[in-house]
Amino acid sequence: MPNDKILARSLGVLFGLGLAGIFILRRNLFRLTGRKDNGAFIEYFELLPPPPPPPPSAPHPLSGLTFAIKDIFDIEGFVTGFGNPDWASTHEPATRTAAAVKVLVEAGATCIGKLIMDELAYSIIGDNKHYGTPVNPAAPNRIPGGSSSGSGVAVAADLVDFSLGTDTAGSVRVPAAFCGILGFRPSHGAVSTVGVTPMAQSLDTVGCFARDPAILRQVGHILLQLPYMDVRQPRRFFIADDCFKISLIPTELSLGTVVKSIQKLLGRQVLQHINLGDYVARTVPSLKELQKEISDSNLGSLALLRTAMQILQRWEFKLNHEEWLTTVKPDLAPALAARTKLALETSSNLVPLLQKIKDETRYAISELLKNDSLLVMPTVPDIPPKLNTKAEALEVFRNKTLDLICVAGMSSCCQVTMPAGNHDGVPMAVSLLARQGSDRFLLDTVLAIYSTVQEEDKVAADQPSIVSDGNSAAAELAKEKGNAAFKEKDYKKAVGFYTDAIRLNGNNATYYNNRAMAYLQLCSFSEAESDCTKALNLDKRVSVFILFEVGLEEQMQFDGSRMVAPIYVFIVDLNVPAVVQVTLLMMK
């Protein structure tokens, strides 16, 4: 909550919200002079629960808990901002409170405000050009993830016990993963979206965030409004091997603790490995028809599934918001403006095929996960990108992420992402997925295994890092892709591939050496110097190869503790047009 430096004007209002009791809504309009709330809140108020029942009745199940909501949920008397000031200025205050908010307050929780979100809920990055980017408490120099950015940050910063967000294409799962907390995307249609500004109805869900799995389960059960059922033990866990292979996080780090925890609690017999992409290709035949329609033979099955989700999302977004976009012509961030332009240009031609793909995917995943089975896969393909990462790199990251996110979106199944340790000091996450309608079973399972996963994480953190053969091979593959990009003179892409190789195996001097060459072509001299130093620290016997353009006469100066001047330069032919190779040798 804000401190005494915050200027506030409070107005107390007493009215009914159509629930069991009468609530007090105290609205506070704050002008923040600092970011004591990590920039997560856009508006503070209090929505109080009804009085507790007299003894011997049990207290309300969420009594004493606080929460906040994404600025996509209606609160009676408040304007729902949808992450954009032009939207807020062209819409009237809500005449009702969102059903999901009502049921939580009725259960005893106190809502304390609204949270920043990405504009129009059409991003998974977590930034907002109008209201700022909430600060990720787990990695302040990296993006928080979106579009429920404030919802993830508020929970991770311990500002509330839990929060509400929406998840159409990852908007709960991604920020939860990036902020190192739990995030629950329910089965499509399992939680009411009444009073929630729509994004794409075929994919929209109301989800929640928490640090504590017991609170996540409790809140999830109340949102689901399902009758009590006995806790069931999972019979099988499918490990999506191909999904972990495309992840840039070493598999033994992200998956190892989860697998060890499952083995410890349930035994090895419940584990089974699967190539999810191959399974989807076999069981969702309409993807081949989509491939013909879009004339792209290079996309794998998960990338095709992601493409189907994106086109469906664009079409439904257009149906919902075309009139407002074309009439108001709102001020949008460049990436969002490009995305909305694509949406407005989308036709309905492929919609029947897309719905068919969605139906086939739902049936396929339901068949796979029948009989109390769960799917284990990475939530995101990498740790969160750094702040101010270039738009082109973010778009590549976004598509890689959606290749994973689309599985739950297109199958309508439920998913929980949970923290699974750290990599380079940044949170990692692993997800469990259950078939549509198995939400309570999924939440119960997460609660049952979570403490063991965290214990295994601590054990792993105390052990030295070991690069597996699989990750070593993946690192070499990334290096070769970098070499190919370098020869094509796509130096930015080469840097990206070499960075992937380093992330997979940070003890290989050649990877730093090669990245230094690419950095020099981009005139990023300080980065090149840093990589040369790292390469020499790793292996004093190697020569550090640097590429200069022909005719460049400037010499680089290195830290004297690392290299001793003078530096002798030997030019050799690389058979690469317009470049020559020079070898920097240390004087003995």
Continuous segment of H or E residues that includes residue 11 = strand 7-16
Marked catalytic residue, from 151, 171, 247, 301: 171
- Please give the sequence-ordered ranges of beta strands (E in DSSP) within 352-409, or none if there are none: 373-378
Preceding omega of 56 cis (within 30 degrees of 0): yes
Where do we find the tokens 């990251």?
397
DSSP one-letter code for 212: S
Helices and strands of the chain, counted as H and E runs: 19, 16
Contact 579, 548 (CB under 8 A): yes
458 carries an active-site annotation: no
**Residue 228 exposed, middle or buried by CB count within 10 Å (0-12, 13-18, 19+):** exposed
Torsion of CA 241, 262, 228, 181, to 10 degrees: -70
Report how far residue 386's alpha carbon sits from residue 133's, in angstroms, rounded to the nearest whole number. 12
Measure CA 294 to chain center.
Answer: 27
Please tell me the distance from the alpha carbon of residue 185 to that of residue 418, in angstroms, as a whole number: 12
434/417 Cα distance (integer angstroms)? 12
Known catalytic membership, residue 534: no
70 flagged as catalytic: yes
Residue 363, Cα to own-chain centre: how many angstroms?
Answer: 26
Q: How far is CA 289 from the centre of its chain?
A: 29
Structure tokens at 230: 């006995």
Nearest to 177, CA basis, from 144, 137, 128? 144
How many whole angstroms separate alpha carbon 431 and alpha carbon 451? 15
Show the tokens assigned to 180. 């190192």
Distances (CA, A) of 410 to 53, 358, 366: 43, 5, 12
CA angle 278–437–429, rounded 5-degree value: 60
Q: Which of 114, 123, 147, 358 is catalytic?
A: 147
Q: What string of DSSP letters covers 442-502?
A: HHHHHHHHHHHHHHHHHHHHTSPP---HHHHHHHHHHHHHHHHHHHTT-HHHHHHHHHHHH
Contact 527, 577 (CB under 8 A): no
- Residues with catalytic function: 70, 147, 171
